[in-house]
C-alpha cells in the first residue's frame, strides 16, 4: 500500500486457498440451534418471525460450502477495475470504471450496511457504457466504506458520515473529478446527503434511495399513502431495528460472533436481505444466492463484521438536523424499503427536488432486486439533476 497521500494504486483481490479451505471447514463443523418454534409450516413472511429459518440456513450453508465460487467474484472485480489510496492515514479501496464516452459524467456510488461493492457489480458496465447513445454515461467510482471490504479498518473513533463524505471529495479529486454526481442508499444515501449539503462546489447533484427529513415534522397535509409510509417507518424503528441498536451501542460485542463464525455472519446478514426485499418469502426470489454470498464472503474474508458495524456507533442518528441540500436532487422511494420519506418532508431538507419516483416494485437493495429498473431510474434521475444544474 502506498504511503504517499497522493498515490492511487491498482489493487487485486486474492484470498488464499488456505482461507477458503478454512471457511469450508468452519461451515462443515458449524453447530446449529434447533429449529424455530413458531410458524414453521406457514407460508410467507411468518416463517421468518424469529429470524432466518433453520431449513433455509442449512440449504444456503451447504451451497456456500460445496457450490459457491468466490474466484469468479474476484475476477469480476478485477474486470471492473480495483484501486486503493490513502486518505487521512486510512487505506480506501474502490472500483473505478471509466466510460468510453467523451460526454460521460463522474458518478460516485456509495453502498451501506449490510451491503458492499457487491451491490453494484452487475450495473457498473451499463452505467459506464450504455448501448443507447442517447442516455447518459458515467465514469463510475464505487468506494468501500471505511471498515468495509478491502478498505482499512479505522483504529480510532471519528470515521462517521461527515468525515467519510469529505474523504470521498478528496478521492474524486485524486481521480481528476473536481465535480461529480453522487448516488447512494442506506448509509450511502446518508453520505450522499452530506455530500450535497456540505460540498456544493464539487457535487453537481445527487440521486438517492434514502431521504432523511429534518426531525419534528407534522403529518398534517400528507396523503393517505404518505401517512402509511410514516407509520411503517415508525414501526420499523420500534420493532425491527434491534440490529441497529446493537451495532450503535455494542459493535465490538456482536463483532466477535461475526468475525469468528461464518454461519453467524451469514444469518446476521441474510436476515436483512430477507426482511428488506420486495419478496413474499425468500430473498432468493429476486436476488441470486451467488450475489448474496459474494457480499457475505467479502465480509468474512476481510474480517469486517465488527469494523463495519461501527458505522452505527459513529453515525447513528447523527445527520445534522440543520443540514440543507441546495444542489439538484432526484429521489426514489422503493415500496418495500425500510424507510420511506414523504415528499413534503423531504422538501424541507432537499430544496431542489427535480425528480421524485415511487416505483411499483423493489426494496432496500434495488440494484440487486430490480437491476433493469434501477439503472433506468438512476439514468433518468441523474439526467434531470444534470439538466437542472446547467
pLDDT, tens digit, 9 for 90 and up, residues 253-268: 999 999 999 999 999 9
pLDDT, tens digit, 9 for 90 and up, residues 299-345: 999 999 999 999 999 999 999 999 999 999 999 999 999 999 999 99
Residue 208 within a domain? yes
Residue 114 within a domain? yes
Residue 355 within a domain? yes
Asked if the model's pLDDT at residue 6 lies above 90, the reply is no
Percent of the chain having pLDDT more than 90?
94
Q: Is 281 a catalytic residue?
A: no
Asked if the model's pLDDT at residue 2 lies above 50, the reply is no
Residue 41 confidence (pLDDT): 61
**How many C-beta atoms surround the C-beta of residue 131 within 10 A?**
6
* Confidence class for position 1, pLDDT limits 50, 70, 90: very low
CA distances, 174 to each of 8, 58, 120, 179, 204 (Å): 8, 45, 22, 12, 17
pLDDT, tens digit, 9 for 90 and up, residues 333-369: 999 999 999 999 999 999 999 999 999 999 999 999 9
Torsion of CA 316, 319, 321, 325, to 10 degrees: -160
pLDDT, tens digit, 9 for 90 and up, residues 207-229: 999 999 999 999 999 999 999 99
Residue 390 confidence (pLDDT): 72
Total domains in the fold of the chain: 1
Q: Which of 56, 186, 294, 337 is catalytic?
A: 186
* Confidence class for position 3, pLDDT limits 50, 70, 90: very low
Q: Which of 243, 299, 312, 350 is catalytic?
A: 312
Q: Which of 364, 373, 374, 377 is catalytic?
A: 364
Residue 105 within a domain? yes
Q: What is the mean pLDDT of residues 226-254?
A: 97
The residue whose grid cell reads 438517492 is 208
* Confidence class for position 389, pLDDT limits 50, 70, 90: confident
Q: Provide the mean pLDDT of the chain.
A: 95
Asked if the model's pLDDT at residue 42 lies above 70, the reply is no
Residue 157 within a domain? yes
Q: Is 243 a catalytic residue?
A: no
Q: What sign for the dihedral angle of Cα 56, 60, 66, 67?
A: positive
Residue 182 within a domain? yes
Residue 344 within a domain? yes
Range of the domain at 354: 9-389
Q: CATH code at 198? A: 3.40.50.1820
What's the CA gap between 379 and 181, in Å, rounded? 11
Q: Is 39 a catalytic residue?
A: no
Residue 379 confidence (pLDDT): 98
What's the CA gap between 291 and 70, in Å, rounded? 10
Q: Which residues pair with 82 in a beta bridge?
A: 95
* Confidence class for position 5, pLDDT limits 50, 70, 90: very low
Asked if the model's pLDDT at residue 183 lies above 50, the reply is yes
Residue 200 confidence (pLDDT): 98
pLDDT, tens digit, 9 for 90 and up, residues 282-295: 999 999 999 999 99
Pairing of β 353-357 and β 329-332: parallel
Helix (H) or strand (E) holding 347: none
Q: What is the mean pLDDT of residues 35-53?
A: 79
Q: What is the mean pLDDT of residues 45-52?
A: 85
pLDDT, tens digit, 9 for 90 and up, residues 66-101: 999 999 999 999 999 999 999 999 999 999 999 999
Q: What is the mean pLDDT of residues 109-123?
A: 98
Residue 4 within a domain? no
The DSSP output letter for 351 is S
Amino acid at each position: 500500500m502506498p504511503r504517499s497521500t497522493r498515490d492511487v494504486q491498482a489493487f487485486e483481490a486474492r484470498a488464499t486457498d488456505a482461507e477458503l479451505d478454512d471457511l469450508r471447514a468452519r461451515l462443515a463443523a458449524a453447530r446449529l440451534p434447533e429449529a424455530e418454534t413458531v410458524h414453521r409450516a406457514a407460508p410467507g413472511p411468518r416463517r421468518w418471525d424469529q429470524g432466518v429459518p433453520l431449513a433455509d440456513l442449512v440449504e444456503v450453508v451447504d451451497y456456500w460450502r460445496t457450490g459457491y465460487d468466490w474466484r469468479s467474484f474476484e475476477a469480476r472485480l478485477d474486470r471492473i477495475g480495483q484501486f486503493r489510496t490513502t486518505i487521512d492515514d486510512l487505506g480506501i479501496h474502490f472500483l473505478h470504471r471509466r466510460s468510453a464516452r467523451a460526454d460521460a459524467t463522474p458518478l460516485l456510488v456509495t453502498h451501506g450496511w449490510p451491503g458492499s461493492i457487491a451491490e453494484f457489480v452487475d450495473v457498473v458496465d451499463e452505467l459506464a457504457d450504455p448501448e443507447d447513445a442517447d442516455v447518459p454515461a458515467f465514469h463510475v467510482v464505487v468506494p468501500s466504506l471505511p471498515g468495509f471490504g478491502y478498505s482499512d479498518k479505522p483504529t480510532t473513533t471519528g470515521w462517521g458520515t461527515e468525515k467519510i463524505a469529505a474523504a470521498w471529495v478528496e478521492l474524486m479529486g485524486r481521480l481528476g473529478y473536481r465535480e461529480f454526481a453522487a448516488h447512494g442508499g442506506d448509509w450511502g444515501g446518508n453520505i450522499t446527503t452530506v455530500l450535497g449539503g456540505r460540498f456544493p462546489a464539487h457535487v453537481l447533484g445527487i440521486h438517492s434511495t434514502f431521504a432523511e427529513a429534518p426531525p419534528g415534522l407534522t403529518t398534517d397535509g400528507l396523503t393517505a399513502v404518505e401517512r402509511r409510509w410514516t407509520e411503517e417507518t415508525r414501526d420499523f424503528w420500534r420493532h425491527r431495528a434491534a440490529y441497529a441498536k446493537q451495532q450503535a451501542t455494542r459493535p465490538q460485542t456482536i463483532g466477535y460472533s461475526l468475525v469468528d463464525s461464518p454461519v453467524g455472519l451469514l444469518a446476521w446478514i441474510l436476515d436483512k436481505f430477507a426482511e428488506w426485499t420486495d419478496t413474499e418469502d425468500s430473498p432468493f426470489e429476486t436476488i441470486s444466492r451467488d450475489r448474496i454470498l459474494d457480499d457475505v464472503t467479502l465480509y468474512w474474508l476481510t474480517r469486517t463484521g465488527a469494523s463495519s458495524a461501527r458505522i452505527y456507533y459513529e453515525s447513528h442518528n447523527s445527520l445534522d438536523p440543520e443540514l440543507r441540500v441546495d444542489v439538484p436532487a432526484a429521489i426514489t422511494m422503493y415500496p418495500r424499503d425500510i424507510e420511506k420519506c414523504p415528499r413534503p418532508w423531504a422538501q424541507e431538507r432537499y430544496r431542489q427536488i427535480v425528480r421524485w419516483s415511487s416505483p411499483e416494485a423493489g426494496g432496500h437493495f434495488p440494484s440487486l432486486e430490480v437491476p433493469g429498473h434501477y439503472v433506468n431510474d438512476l439514468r433518468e434521475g441523474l439526467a434531470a439533476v444534470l439538466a437542472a444544474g446547467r
